[in-house]
Amino acid sequence: MVDYHAANQAYQYGPSSGGNGAGGGGSMGDYMAQEDDWDRDLLLDPAWEKQQRKTFTAWCNSHLRKAGTQIENIDEDFRDGLKLMLLLEVISGERLPKPERGKMRVHKINNVNKALDFIASKGVKLVSIGAEEIVDGNAKMTLGMIWTIILRFAIQDISVEETSAKEGLLLWCQRKTAPYKNVNVQNFHISWKDGLAFNALIHRHRPELIEYDKLRKDDPVTNLNNAFEVAEKYLDIPKMLDAEDIVGTLRPDEKAVMTYVSCFYHAFSGAQKAETAANRICKVLAVNQENEHLMEDYERLASDLLEWIRRTIPWLEDRVPQKTIQEMQQKLEDFRDYRRVHKPPKVQEKCQLEINFNTLQTKLRLSNRPAFMPSEGRMVSDINNGWQHLEQAEKGYEEWLLNEIRRLERLDHLAEKFRQKASIHEAWTDGKEAMLKHRDYETATLSDIKALIRKHEAFESDLAAHQDRVEQIAAIAQELNELDYYDSHNVNTRCQKICDQWDALGSLTHSRREALEKTEKQLETIDQLHLEYAKRAAPFNNWMESAMEDLQDMFIVHTIEEIEGLISAHDQFKSTLPDADREREAILAIHKEAQRIAESNHIKLSGSNPYTTVTPQIINSKWEKVQQLVPKRDHALLEEQSKQQSNEHLRRQFASQANVVGPWIQTKMEEIGRISIEMNGTLEDQLNHLKQYERSIVDYKPNLDLLEQQHQLIQEALIFDNKHTNYTMEHIRVGWEQLLTTIARTINEVENQILTRDAKGISQEQMQEFRASFNHFDKKQTGSMDSDDFRVLLISTGYSLGDAEFNRIMSVVDPNHSGLVTFQAFIDFMSRETTDTDTADQVIASFKVLAGDKNFITAEELRRELPPDQAEYCIARMAPYQGPDAAPGALDYKSFSTALYGESDL
C-alpha cells in the first residue's frame, strides 16, 4: 500500500493551502441539522445527483490538484480513504494520522474512519454516515459526506453583517449584485438559472473581464457558459456546472450551485477588506445624512414658528381702542379664536421642536458628532425668548378688551342718557326766549300786569326747577369727555348750545322781572286760587316729568344683587304713588274751585290760568303716562332679573367644572414629577407606562372642551367675574398646556435614554443601576443635582477625583455651566466613558482601503464600492485633492472624514 504522505513530500501543507483556515471551529451540529436537507432515506433526484457529482468532483479536484492528484469517479476514488484523507489535509492545512498501507477492506475502513473522525473533531455531527458505506461505494452516502465537508470548510466561516454560512453567502451575493438590472438573488437555485447573477458577480469585482451590458436575459446558456469560461480562465475556478443541465432542470440543485458560488466568494475574499471599509463608511454617512435631515427639519420648523410669533406679537400689542362695542366685541372674538384655534397647535409645535432638538443632540453625542448649532436667530433660546415676548404681549390683552367693552357700554349708556335729557330740556325751552322777549306788559291793564308778574314768578320757579337738569346734562358731557367718547365733539357742541341758551334765559328772565317790577304798584291782587294752582301744579308737573324720566331711564347691571337693588328702589317709588295721586286731586280741586267761584259770581275768565301753562289736561295726561310706564318698568326689571339669574347659573356651572379640572391638572403635574424621579422597571416599561399615562391625560381633553364651551357662554353673556371659583379659563389653559408639554418632555427623556442605552450597548441592569445611584444622590428629588452631590456620586462609582479631573467631567456633563447635572447627562457620560465609538481616524482608514492605499479617492471608486445614494453624498461634499500625487478627478477623503466629526485637523 502506498503512503501518500511519502509520495507527495514536495507539497507543503499550511493554512494558505485551501479553505478558510485550520481553526478548530465551534460546534456545528445544530447548523448542520438545519442546513443538511439531503434526505438519506430517499433516492436522489437523477438531475440533482448528476449536478452534484460534477460539482463535488470539480470542487474536490480544485483542492487535490494542489497535491498533484485528482479523482475521476467520486464514489470509487474515495473508497480506500487515501485521497479522502489527502483532501482533508489540503483544505484544512493540518496533518491527519498516518494512513494504513494494506489493501484489505479493514485497512480501507480504518482510513475512512480516520477521515470521519477528523471531520467530527471540527464540530461536525455526522448522521448515518459510516466508513463501511463509503468503502462500499454508496453514492448517496459519499455525496452526503462531501457536502458536509464543503459546508464545514468552504461555507460555514463565511460571515457578512452578522449573518453567517448559507445566509451570509446569500447576503454577500445580494449586496454584490444589487446594482445590476435583471438580477434578483433570493436563493441558490432559480435565481441563477439565467446566468446573469454569475456574470454580475464577476463584473462587480473584475469589470474588465465581462461585457455585462451585451448579455441578454433570454439567452441563459450563453450567459452561463460565458461566466463558467471566464471564471475558469481568469479566476482559477474550475467549471463545476453544465449550462445545459441548469437550463434544462426545473430547479437546479441548491448544493451544487452553493458550492460553485462559494468558490467565487473565496476567489474574491481579498475584496472583503474593501467591503468592510465600505460598510463602515456607509454607516457613518447614513448617520450624517439622517442628522442633516433632522437639522433641516429643525431649521424649517423654527423659521415657521418664529415667523408666526413675529406676525402675532404686533397684533397682540395693538391696544388702539375701537369706537363701537361691536368692533371691540369682534376683536374679542378674534382673540378667542386665537386662544382656542390658532395658539394650541403652535404650543404643540414648540414642544415638538424642543423634543426634536433634544433628540438630535442626543444622536449627535451618541455618534461622536459635534453638537448642532442652529443658524443665527433660530436657537431654542431664541424661540423661548420669542414665545415669552408673545405671552407678555398676550398678557392682559383680554382684560384690556373687556375693560374697553365695559367703557364703551358705559359710554353708550351715558350718551343715550345725555341725548334723552337734552331732548327733554330742549323741548321745555322751546319758545321760552320768545316769551321772555315779548313786551306784552306795555299795553296791558293793571290786572293784566299783575297777572304777568305772577306768571313770571311761576316761570322763575319752573326755571329754577330745571337748573338741576342742566347741571346733569353738563356733568354727563364732562364724563363722556373724560372717557374719550368718540362722538364727544357733537356732544360738546350740543351741551354748549344748551348752556348758552340757559344763560340767555337767565338774562332774559332777569330783564323781564325788572320791567314788570316797575309797574308793580299798579298791580292788584291776582286771583290767589290761580296762583296757588300754578305754584302747586308746576312742582307736581316736574315731579311727574322726573318720574317719567326715571321710569324710562336705561340701566345696566352685572350681578343679581345690583338688579335686586333696582327692583327695591322701584318698589319704594311705587309706594309713593298714592300720596302723589292725592296731591293731583288736590291741585285739580283748586282749579275747579276757581271755576266755581267765577261762575257763581258771573266772572268771565279770559281763558287758561294766566300763571301757568300746566293745565289739568296736561296733569291728567302725564299722570296717565306715569301709570302706563310703571308696569313696563316692572317688566324690564323682571327680565333683567331673569337674565342675571341665568348668568349666576352660568357662573356656578363653570365654577363646578373648573373646581374639578383645575385640581386634576395640578394633581397630574405632581404625579408626573414623581414618575420622572421614581422610574421603576425597564426603560420600555417606563416608556409604555408614560405613554399610557399620556393617553389618559389626552382622554381627559373632553372635560376641557366642556369647560371651553361653558366659558364661551359666560363671555357671550358679558360676565366679567366669578366669585365661585379661583380658576379662570386662562389658568386652566396654561395648566393644560404645561401638563401636555411636561409629559411629552418626560417621554422624550426616556426615549433618549433608550437611544443612549441601545447605541452604547448599556444593559438594562446597568441602566437601573445608573438610575438607582442617581436617585440616591438626588437629595432634592428634582431630577437633577448640584456639583457637590454629583462629585459624591462619582466617588461612589469608583472615580478618584482631583479638581482638574472633576472640572473636566463637569465641562462634559454641564457644558452650559448651569450648575446642575441631569440624569440624561449622567448616563451619556457613563456610557461615553465605557463605550467605543467611530472616530475620524477609523473613517479615514476605511476610505484608504477603498482607495487602494492612495491618499485620494476617485468618483468611480466611490460609485463602485458604496451604495448609489451614499456615493453621490460623498462626491458632492468632498473637496478636490491638492496633494503632489493628485490625479485627474482626485477627491480629498481625509478632510471630508475630519469634517464629519467636527475636528479642525487630524
pLDDT category of residue 6 using cuts at 50, 70 and 90: very low
Q: What is the pLDDT of residues 806-828, one digit of tens each?
A: 888 888 878 878 888 887 777 77
> From start to end of 411-562, where are the E strands?
none
Share of the chain above pLDDT 90, in %: 13
Query: What pLDDT is stored for residue 15 in this prediction?
Result: 29
Mean pLDDT of the chain: 81
Residue 105 has pLDDT above 80, yes or no: yes
Query: What pLDDT is stored for residue 186 in this prediction?
Result: 94
Q: What is the pLDDT of residues 738-748, one digit of tens each?
A: 888 988 988 88
CA 282 from centre of chain: 30
- Taking residues 753-765, report their average pLDDT: 75
Residue 448 has pLDDT above 80, yes or no: no
Q: What is the pLDDT of residues 12-29, one digit of tens each?
A: 223 233 333 333 333 333
pLDDT category of residue 122 using cuts at 50, 70 and 90: confident
Amino acid at 847: F
Would you say the C-alpha torsion 547, 551, 554, 560 has a positive or negative sign? positive
Query: What pLDDT is stored for residue 905 in this prediction?
Result: 40
3-state helix/strand/coil string of 366-425: HCCCCCCCCCCCCCHHHHHHHHHHHHHHHCCHHHHHHHHHHHHHHHHHHHHHHHHHHHHH
Q: What is the pLDDT of residues 384-414, one digit of tens each?
A: 998 888 888 878 777 877 887 777 777 778 8
Query: What pLDDT is stored for residue 902 in this prediction?
Result: 67
The helix/strand/coil state of 887 is coil
- Taking residues 220-234, report their average pLDDT: 93
Residue 880, H or E segment: strand 879-880
> Pseudo-torsion of CA 838, 841, 847, 851, nearest 10°?
-160
pLDDT category of residue 8 using cuts at 50, 70 and 90: very low
pLDDT category of residue 9 using cuts at 50, 70 and 90: very low
- Taking residues 338-364, report their average pLDDT: 86
Query: What pLDDT is stored for residue 647 in this prediction?
Result: 86
Residue 17 in contact with residue 95, Cβ under 8 Å? no
The Cα–Cα gap between 329 and 335 comes to: 10
pTM value?
0.46
Q: What is the pLDDT of residues 127-144, one digit of tens each?
A: 778 888 888 888 888 988
Residue 99 in contact with residue 3, Cβ under 8 Å? yes
The better pLDDT of the pair 851, 611 is held by 851
Query: What pLDDT is stored for residue 903 in this prediction?
Result: 53
Query: What pLDDT is stored for residue 719 in this prediction?
Result: 80
Query: What pLDDT is stored for residue 203 in this prediction?
Result: 92
Q: What is the pLDDT of residues 234-277, one digit of tens each?
A: 988 998 889 888 898 889 989 889 998 989 888 887 666 666 67
Query: What pLDDT is stored for residue 576 in this prediction?
Result: 87
Query: What pLDDT is stored for residue 196 in this prediction?
Result: 93
Amino acid at 82: L
> From start to end of 8-165, where are the E strands?
159-160, 163-164
Q: State the DSSP code for 159.
A: E
Residue 607 has pLDDT above 70, yes or no: no
Pairing label, strands 163-164, 891-892 = unpaired
Query: What pLDDT is stored for residue 71 in this prediction?
Result: 92
Cell readout for 294 is: 433632522
The Cα–Cα gap between 809 and 803 comes to: 10
The better pLDDT of the pair 507, 683 is held by 507
> Which region among 5-19, 44-58, 130-144, 615-629 has the lowest average model confidence (pLDDT)?
5-19
Residue 511 has pLDDT above 50, yes or no: yes
The better pLDDT of the pair 673, 191 is held by 191
The better pLDDT of the pair 10, 788 is held by 788
Length of the chain: 906
Q: What is the pLDDT of residues 761-791, one digit of tens each?
A: 777 677 767 777 777 777 776 777 888 887 8
pLDDT category of residue 208 using cuts at 50, 70 and 90: very high
Residue 211 has pLDDT above 70, yes or no: yes
The Cα–Cα gap between 871 and 847 comes to: 12
Amino acid at 168: G
pLDDT category of residue 841 using cuts at 50, 70 and 90: confident
pLDDT category of residue 605 using cuts at 50, 70 and 90: low
Query: What pLDDT is stored for residue 38 in this prediction?
Result: 39
